[in-house]
Amino acid sequence: MSYPTYSTHTASVAAQGHRSEVVHEMHQKYGTFVWLAPNHLSISDPDALQVVYAHGNDSLKSDFYDAFVSIHRGLFNTRDRAQHTRKRKIVSHIFSQKNVLDFEPHVRLYIGQLIQVWDRLYDKALKGQSGSEGDGWSGKDGRLWLDALPWCNYLAFDIIGDLAFGSPFGMIAAGKDSASVALSTKDAMQSYGKTDSLQTLHLPAVQILNDRGEYSASMGVLPPWLRPYIQKFHPWYRNGSKAVKSLAGLAVAAVAKRSNNPTERIDLLSRLQAGRDEEGKPMGREELTAEVLTQLIAGSDTTSNSSCAIMYHLAANPAVQAKLQKELDEAPGTDDDPVSSFDQVKRLTYLEAVINEILRIHSTSGIGLPRVVPEGGMTALGKTFPDGTVLSVPSYTIHRDVCVWGADPDVFSPERWFEGDQGEM
């Protein structure tokens, strides 16, 4: 086991989305322990997961999370243990098995819409038609050719928009990345419960979310003292800070619109509004909006990226696609509805293996989420680290650990989930 003298992972690497691969390459070169910064150690061993991220180990999130704060600290980026416990109490019941299953009809509705749109495009493709420049689809050789990622984004945003805000963004129907964004989050906040219309613009929400993610991930690896200066003087960071404000404006506008048009509908927002902490107090407007924004972020690009990755790897591996198609064709269901229910697919073992393999090889978050060692220190893999040290375990790297996944961890192979040590996997 060896250590580099010091390796600097620049903010530009994070901004370009290559941090996971660079950290992985460093672990391959230097071993299990790699210093990412003077006080941040990356540990690429699955056994370290239960130590660094164990519930109740008293470790706290690092200042990396400060770069993700917008409107108000939410469940994801709060660094205060008492506040996290309070928020978790309010939010956790929303994701009980029963509540999640109650959301299923909404999910199936938009999957059905997407299939209908693709069917219409396919009919046009058979006639030799193609979309205009920028539409992202074309007809060629009796086939429909399209970029699946934008459509996966439209699907995820419409679903989470419906569940979180009571109405979809309408991206599937429009075939376009567009959503209402409040011009002024302050004015929108003040409009809660009033009938006057909000001042909004239609902006590309998916692009805003992507820009904000790149900005925050890059800002988070910078020393806190440097962040205000680079945001002020570097044009890329100035543009990123605009994306943060626009994303906040999107959530504020949607929540304000819902607040101005009360409904009896049960969804994520209504459950959050009904939530109470241990003192019986609900969340305030800013906190509520921040938590809804957290759900939007957590449920949109995560789902769209994973869905698109499934399509890509199935297309790249025809044998896997054929095997999965056979299992789906033989599954109980009805030909009247092309969208299967969870009850119909929950016991399909090969489908589960395909999904697990996608989440392994194409994790939505491949970086190691940093934790601060608490007072008294922490021992991991036989080594003790003093309090204040930042530790992380990189998902991208442990998902390619040959000791767990075998000699071919970079190969997409759902079959590996039926082989080897399942407990270790």
| pLDDT for residue 315 | 95
Question: Can you name the residues that pair with 335 across neighbouring β-strands?
Answer: none
Average pLDDT rounded to a whole number, residues 16-43? 93
Span 341-355, pLDDT tens digits: 888 888 999 999 999
| pLDDT for residue 310 | 96
Q: What is the pTM of this model?
A: 0.89
Average pLDDT rounded to a whole number, residues 247-266? 80
Span 64-119, pLDDT tens digits: 999 999 888 989 999 999 999 888 888 888 888 888 888 898 899 999 999 999 99
Mean pLDDT of all residues in the chain? 87
Nearest to 36 by CA among 53, 24, 45: 24
Nearest to 198 by CA among 180, 216, 217, 174: 180
Residue given tokens 């007809």 in the structure block: 139
Query: Are 385 and 395 a contacting pair, CB within 8 Å?
Result: no
Distance (Å, whole) CA 24 – CA 271: 40
162: its two tokens:
């419906």
Average pLDDT rounded to a whole number, residues 54-73? 91
Residue given tokens 């270790």 in the structure block: 424
* Residue 210 phi, psi dihedral angles, 5° rounding: -65, -45
Q: 1 pLDDT exceeds 60?
A: no
The size of the chain, in residues, is 425
- For 394, residues 6+ apart whose C-beta sits below 8 A from its C-beta are 20, 23, 24, 27, 42, 44, 366, 367, 368
Question: Binning pLDDT at 50, 70 and 90, where does residue 5 land?
Answer: very low
Question: Binning pLDDT at 50, 70 and 90, where does residue 335 land?
Answer: low
Q: 264 pLDDT exceeds 80?
A: no
Average pLDDT rounded to a whole number, residues 398-402? 95
Span 164-178, pLDDT tens digits: 887 889 999 999 998
Q: 333 pLDDT exceeds 80?
A: no
Q: 360 pLDDT exceeds 60?
A: yes
Q: 53 pLDDT exceeds 80?
A: yes
| pLDDT for residue 128 | 85
| pLDDT for residue 249 | 87
Nearest to 203 by CA among 143, 138, 248: 248
Average pLDDT rounded to a whole number, residues 46-70? 92
Query: Are 327 and 351 a contacting pair, CB within 8 Å?
Result: yes
| pLDDT for residue 282 | 87
Question: Binning pLDDT at 50, 70 and 90, where does residue 3 land?
Answer: very low
Distance (Å, whole) CA 9 – CA 239: 22
- Per-residue DSSP letter, 4: -
* Residue 263 phi, psi dihedral angles, 5° rounding: -150, 155
Nearest to 373 by CA among 362, 363, 381, 384: 384
Nearest to 398 by CA among 25, 81, 24: 24
Quote the radius of gyration of the chain (alpha carbons, Å).
Answer: 23
Q: Name the residue type at position 408.
A: D
Nearest to 269 by CA among 254, 250, 249: 254
